[in-house]
Each structure stands twice: as structure tokens, then as C-alpha cells.
Amino acid sequence: MDARASEGGVAAEASVTGPPQVDAVSRVAAPAAAAGPAAVVLGGLSLSHLLNDMIQSLLPAIYPLLKQAYALDFGQIGFLTLAFQLTASLLQPVVGLFTDKRPMPFSLATGMLLSLCGLLLLSHAGSYGLLVMAACLVGLGSAIFHPEASRVARLASGGRYGLAQSVFQVGGNAGSALGPLLAAFIVVPLGQPSVALFAVAALAGFVVLSLVGRWYRDRLRAGAARAKKGAAAIRALPRAKVVQTIAVLLVLIFSKYFYMASLSSYFTFYLIHRFGVSVQQSQLYLFVFLGAVAAGTVAGGPIGDRFGRKVVIWGSILGVLPFTLALPHANLFWTVALTVPIGLILASAMPAILVYAQELLPGRVGLVGGLFFGFAFGMGGLGAAVLGEIADRTSIEYVYGICAFLPAVGLLAAFLPRLDPPKAA
């Protein structure tokens, strides 16, 4: 057993084995996970992920309002997204690495409180600098939430890791879809101060995560003795091959989230500029895409559990290419319609990629969660900033023309080795 994984008590994934085995603590949790408290915890994680990401999605959802109120250009809009995404992405691997050694059950609730502070600041910010600070606070809350929540989801999975990640992530995607919808009906009519109304959601998330933290703490205590007796971690691949494979996965994440940034941050502007729809209509059309993303997340994990992660990764990254190539040339109806398969197919990748990486790096669940969620946020932020500058220098239509080719990067999935699904020792 890795000595570092046993420091400060026991990590939830202290002794995860490679493909031939599963970790000791997950074996402790497995009997209860199917229908007992662990399943309830998984539902609580999904709900809190929904609330967390709903709060976060309010920022891009009100970009048209902020652009008008503060006379912002596309570059400044992109920098707002960059401030949020980089705060989240740079800190997530650090948080994940730390909690691999010293699990912090109540850090989940702490992350939600930081998001609450960012939300309240966003509602009353009177300058662009305060908007950036609010975005950073929300990003910090996200950095603390995601790595440890991903670990708890795996602990509560009962061995069905792909399904657990899908359930966890669909909450986040559903929250991201609800944000623009709520912004269209609440924030746009009532103005920026109405963002403070969503503090109720943050407080609800704090309560749920406090209860999840108590369960997590108790499971750590109950599983400590058995985890220490777990088998030593075994790598199925040489270290150099693991590093190469992780690099390929990160490049696939780059193509996925760079493209996603073009839709989540600028789709409303694209629809307004090209088709002349109202701000409220554009929010509803964005909700259609984000709803498809939420639905696609549900499928990726279970399919990966049954047929293998590589099958899902191939289909989800490369299979979306025909639809992205068609989108810049479609009318309003088909533009909105095409976002449905794009969202469904793209979203199925993340659960499969995350579990695939966890099997490559046994005993490093927090690091994997932090690295991949953080990199995803970072690519989303970088994409928003870069694409905003391109839109300022050319046009928003030009942005969608060049982004259509990004999914072709999915051809790199050919370099991913096939991993056998984990089996109990």
C-alpha cells in the first residue's frame, strides 16, 4: 500500500488497485451502496452538484445584462470567465492531492459557503473589478467542492464507478442548464440585484453537504482498519505509458471544453447577432443545449461500465464532428436542433474519461478529480477568453466556423490503451 495514501488517518481511496482489483474501502461500502445510505448520499451529492453549478452558471447566463450595464466588450466578458475558470482549475489538483493524503469531509460544505459569498458579491458589484473578484470566489468554491465530491461519489458507488460518476455529474449539468432558464425569468426582468435571491439555493447546498460530510466521516472511521489491510496498489501499465495516456485524455478534454465554451459563453450572442432573437429567447435556446448536456451525462457512465470506457470516449469525442460542422451553416431552427445531439454526445465523455483516469492512477482519486475537473474548467475559461478576442477582431459567426473542427482532435483516442474493467479480488 502506498505510504502516502495512509497519512493522516485513511483516505477514502487509500488503497485503490489497478484493473485486477478494487480498493478496500470501496469493498466496505459496496453492500450498502445499492439501496442503503450510500445511495442516498450519492443522490445528495448529485443534488448539491446541481445547486453548486446552477449558482456558477448564473455568471455566463447574465453576460448580456452585464455587457450592457458595464459597457463591456467580448474580451472583458471572456476575462470574467477566465477569472472563474482559472481559479477553479489551478486550485483543484492541489486540493485533490492534499485530500488524497488527508480527507476533509466538511470541506464540501466550506466550498459551498465560498460560492455563496461570490454570489452575494456578484449581486451587488458596482464595478468590473468586483465582478472579477466575485467570479474568483465562485471559482474557489468550485475548486474545493469537486475533488472531494468525486471521491465520495466513488466511495458510494458500490463498484459501479461509471454510473456513480454519471449520477454525480448529471446534477452539475442539470444545474448548469437551470441557471440560464432562471436567469431569463428572474434576473433579466428584475436586474443584477436579484442574483442574491439564489442565496437560498447555496444555503440548501450547505445543509445537504454538511450531512454528506457526516456520512463520509463515519465511513472513513469504519473503513480505516480494513483499508489498512488492503492489497498493495498495482499499475496495469508502465509509468511512461500512464503519463502518455493521461496526456492524451487531457488533450481530448481540451477539444471538448474549448468547444463547449463557444456554446456556453457565446451562444446567446450568436443567436442574437445572427438571427435577431431577444435576450430572453436566447436564454431559452441555451437551456435546450444545456439540457441535452445533462441528459448525455447520464448515458456515458453506465455504457462505459458495460462496454468499456474507450468505446464511450471514441463515440463521444469524434462522433459529434458531423453535427458541429453543420451548425454554422444552419438556420435558426436547425441551429437549435443541432445543439441537442452535440450536447448529448459531448457530455457522455466526461464520466468515462474520469473513471478511465482513476483506473490508470489507483489511489489518487482526489488528484484525478481535481486534475480533470480543473483542466476542464481551465480549458473552458481559456476558450472563452481566446474566442472572445477572436470575436472582437472578426465576428461571432467566424468563431463558430473555426470551432466546428475542434472535435476532430478526438482521433487521438486511437492512442488510448484498452483497460479491462476492475474485478473484486
DSSP codes joined into one string, 390-425:
HHHHS-HHHHHHHHTTGGGGGGGGGGPPP-PPP---
Backbone angles phi, psi at 148, to 5 degrees: -70, -35
Phi and psi at residue 299, to the nearest 5°: -80, -35
Three cell numbers, residue 319 = 462522433
Distance, in Å, from the CA atom of 272 to the CA atom of 277, rounded to the nearest integer, reads 5
Cα-to-chain-centroid distance, residue 138:
14
Domain-located, residue 1 = no
Say how many domains are in the chain: 1
> Domain range for residue 323?
7-415
| Contact indicator for 194, 123 with CB cutoff of 8 Å | yes
In a domain, 2, yes or no: no
**pLDDT for 34:** 37
In a domain, 345, yes or no: yes
Task: Find the helix packing angle between 63-70 and 279-307, rounded to 10°.
Answer: 140
Does a structural domain hold residue 379? yes
Question: For position 218, which CATH number holds?
Answer: 1.20.1250.20
What does each of the 425 residues of the chain score in pLDDT, given as a tens digit?
343 333 334 334 333 333 333 343 334 333 333 346 778 888 899 999 899 888 887 887 788 888 888 888 888 888 887 888 778 777 888 888 888 788 888 888 999 999 899 888 988 888 898 999 998 998 888 888 888 888 888 888 877 787 888 888 888 878 877 877 788 788 878 888 888 888 899 999 999 999 998 888 888 776 554 544 443 344 457 888 888 888 888 888 888 888 887 887 788 889 998 999 988 888 889 888 888 887 887 777 777 677 777 777 887 777 888 999 999 999 999 999 999 999 888 888 788 888 888 888 877 777 787 778 777 767 776 787 788 888 888 988 898 888 889 888 878 877 888 765 544 43
The three cell numbers locating residue 305: 461500465
Q: Is residue 47 part of a domain?
A: yes
One-letter amino acid at 35 equals A
The whole-number pLDDT of residue 13 equals 39
Q: Which residue has the cell 436586474?
A: 191
**What is the distance between the alpha carbons of residues 355 and 73, in angstroms, rounded to a whole number?**
39
Q: 420 in a domain, yes or no? A: no
Residues of 21-39 as b/e, b for ≥16 C-beta within 10 angstroms? bbbbbbbbbbebbeeeebb
Best CA proximity match to 169, nearest among 360, 11, 388, 316: 316
Q: Is residue 320 part of a domain?
A: yes
Residues contacting residue 245 through CB under 8 Å, at least 6 positions apart: 237, 360, 415, 416, 417
Inter-residue contact 405 to 286 (CB < 8 Å): no
Residue 411 located in a structural domain: yes
DSSP state of 9: S
Task: Supply the pLDDT for residue 309.
Answer: 73
- CA–chain centroid gap for 405, Å, is 23
Q: DSSP letter at 424?
A: -
Contact indicator for 288, 340 with CB cutoff of 8 Å: yes
